[in-house]
Amino acid sequence: MKKSFSVACLIFLTISITLSGATKGIVIYDEGLHDTIESKFDGRVNDHSSYYEVLPQSTYAFLIGNNEYESDSGYSRLKYCINDIKIMHQIFTICCKFEEKNIFMCENLSYESFLSQFENFIKNMDKKSNVIFYFSGHGDTDGSLVFTDGKKCTPRKLKQMINAFANDTVLIIDACYSGKNDGPRDIPENEAFKSNCIRIYAALSHTAAKEIGYDNAFFKENLLFFNETLGLHDINGNGYFTALFGMFFSRYKLKKQENISYQDLVYYITNKGKIYVETLISSIDKGSWEEAAYKLDQYPKIYPVDERISFSNPSHAYLILQKPFVEQKIEAPPLLVVINTGVSIEMEPYNKVFASGIFPTLSLLYNLTNNWGIGISVGTQWAPTNSGIPDPFTLINYPVALHLRYCSALNNTFYYTVNAKAGIAITQFFYNSLPNELHFEPKFFWSAGIGIGFNLDRTYGISLTIDYNAMMPYMNAYHFISAGIELIIDL
């Protein structure tokens, strides 16, 4: 048994179960890679460079492979379940960018050992993390997961274990009769999985799952990918579902900034399964016909089908992430304080007057929506004019304006703003030669600008802004550019 640990917010439960002759099946979504399943394969399998643009995901993984069933368990030994978890481990670390130290691998677990190991795993994982749980072994006709001592984790027990923690979860069972885990809801004991749990089953509730050796041409590229890219040189077979899972990562050419969801992956596996069946049927050999008929109903199945999955983080619905998600705040705070302490460069083109100074402002805004806010802005500007004019003077402006603000996220950290202000300003100035003689002028004030910033946490943000400002006559018009550092506080 090999242990490793990782950080994240999704629980990916993958279970690969096989009776002594088993198949796997699917009901799929109507979205995803339907039109881009795969261009003509050029014979070149993916290497490490194929996944350079994949973003790291902090994810815990719990992987179980059971081959060695005890002689008195009532179940035969299996060949390739440990191969399955080796493949999953390497795909998760190399292709999906999960941290290896957070992947926990178990071989040939008894039922009691499973309960103990999984309890320890849950205690040590991050409570906001993604978690993967993968099981490959025998499955019973009632959907139960069978362990090496013949004891079973029933569908009801599995739901209770998954529902016991709040993390987003993906459950994948590559097993005989695995679809039984989402049995009829009208039976009292068939309680539902939690709403933030995706379930992928390799077989329908009435069909078995099958292991497959890599001794045929259809899967030969898998071995090249396993050897050269994943660094696995002792893989001679897998569960049929896991073999098709590996084929996706071996052959599918990722597009720039393309994210791959679990439903995309299931669609690919379903398609490839159909192609494999057609390949077998095209042979005139009677044995191939029988094998094709046997595999014909082994398609994966994904739940939920009709309702949307309510993950706390939408990126958890994706196994490969190349483009980060923009996660908006669900509910904007009612009040927002914006403090901007900046500098300004002022121009009065007609008289060739230029000034520079400071321009602090304070805005109190009410958020109409997550993006739009409206409120009052007050400020003061102090700006001495250039000494090159005949009689230099100092400006002090006091604008009071209606402030309209739009804010939108660029990603989970950065955001941009657009600001517009309109109001009145009292302009006070004095000639430097006569500092005690103050002059006042009322002016119409307006301003427009943009900013880009980042969230310090859920309450504070900081941004850089630039604004064009104008104070229109009564006597003279002033135009000035201001730039500043803006602190945003959610109340």
Residue 82 has pLDDT above 90, yes or no: yes
One-letter amino acid at 72 equals D
At 313-322, the pLDDT tens digits run 888 888 999 9
Q: What is the mean pLDDT of residues 396-416?
A: 83
DSSP for 313-369?
A: SGGGGEEE-SS------SS--SEEEEEEEEEEEEEEGGGTEEEEEEEEEEEEEEESS
Residue 67 has pLDDT above 90, yes or no: yes
Question: Looking at residue 23, what is its pLDDT?
Answer: 29
Closest CA to 338 of 298, 312, 365: 365
* Cβ pair 399, 371 in contact under 8 A: no
Q: For 40-54, 179-193, 310-324, which range has the lowest pLDDT when averaged over its residues?
A: 179-193
Backbone torsions φ then ψ of 446, nearest 5 degrees: -145, 160
CA distance 241 to 18: 10
CA distance 24 to 2: 28
At 433-461, the pLDDT tens digits run 666 666 777 888 888 989 888 777 656 78
Q: Is the pLDDT higher at 226 or at 485? A: 226
Record the tokens describing residue 23, joined without a space: 């198949």
Q: What is the H or E stretch that residue 105 is in?
A: strand 103-107
Q: For 27-41, 93-107, 389-403, which range has the lowest pLDDT when averaged over its residues?
A: 27-41
Band the pLDDT of 50: cuts 50, 70, 90. Answer: very high
Question: Looking at residue 98, what is its pLDDT?
Answer: 93
Q: How far is CA 113 from the centre of its chain?
A: 32
DSSP for residue 242: H
Q: For 297-306, 362-371, 473-482, which range has the lowest pLDDT when averaged over its residues?
A: 473-482
Residue 288 has pLDDT above 70, yes or no: no
Closest CA to 401 of 449, 452, 362, 450: 362
Question: Looking at residue 354, what is its pLDDT?
Answer: 64
User: What are the start-end ranges of the H helices in 407-469?
Assistant: none
Close Cβ partners of 111 (under 8 Å, ≥ 6 residues apart): 147, 149, 151, 152, 153
Question: Looking at residue 4, what is its pLDDT?
Answer: 32
Domains of the chain: 10-320 (3.40.50.1460), 335-490 (2.40.160.20)
CA distance 420 to 470: 12
Question: Looking at residue 301, what is its pLDDT?
Answer: 82
Question: Looking at residue 453, what is its pLDDT?
Answer: 85
Q: For 148-162, 222-236, 288-302, which range has the lowest pLDDT when averaged over its residues?
A: 288-302
Q: What is the mean pLDDT of residues 67-76?
A: 93
Q: For 286-300, 360-374, 404-418, which range has the lowest pLDDT when averaged over its residues?
A: 286-300
Residue 185 has pLDDT above 60, yes or no: no
- Tell me: cis bond preceding 304? Omega within 30 of 0 counts: yes
Closest CA to 363 of 461, 449, 259, 488: 488
Residue 328 has pLDDT above 50, yes or no: no
Close Cβ partners of 79 (under 8 Å, ≥ 6 residues apart): 67, 211, 213, 237
Q: Is the pLDDT higher at 236 or at 328? A: 236
Q: How far is CA 114 from the centre of its chain?
A: 29
Q: Is the pLDDT higher at 134 or at 18? A: 134
Band the pLDDT of 366: cuts 50, 70, 90. Answer: confident
* Cβ pair 105, 112 in contact under 8 A: no
pTM for the model stands at 0.61
Q: What is the mean pLDDT of residues 112-126?
A: 93
Mean pLDDT for all residues in the chain = 78
Residue 13 has pLDDT above 50, yes or no: no
Q: What is the H or E stretch that residue 155 is in?
A: helix 155-163
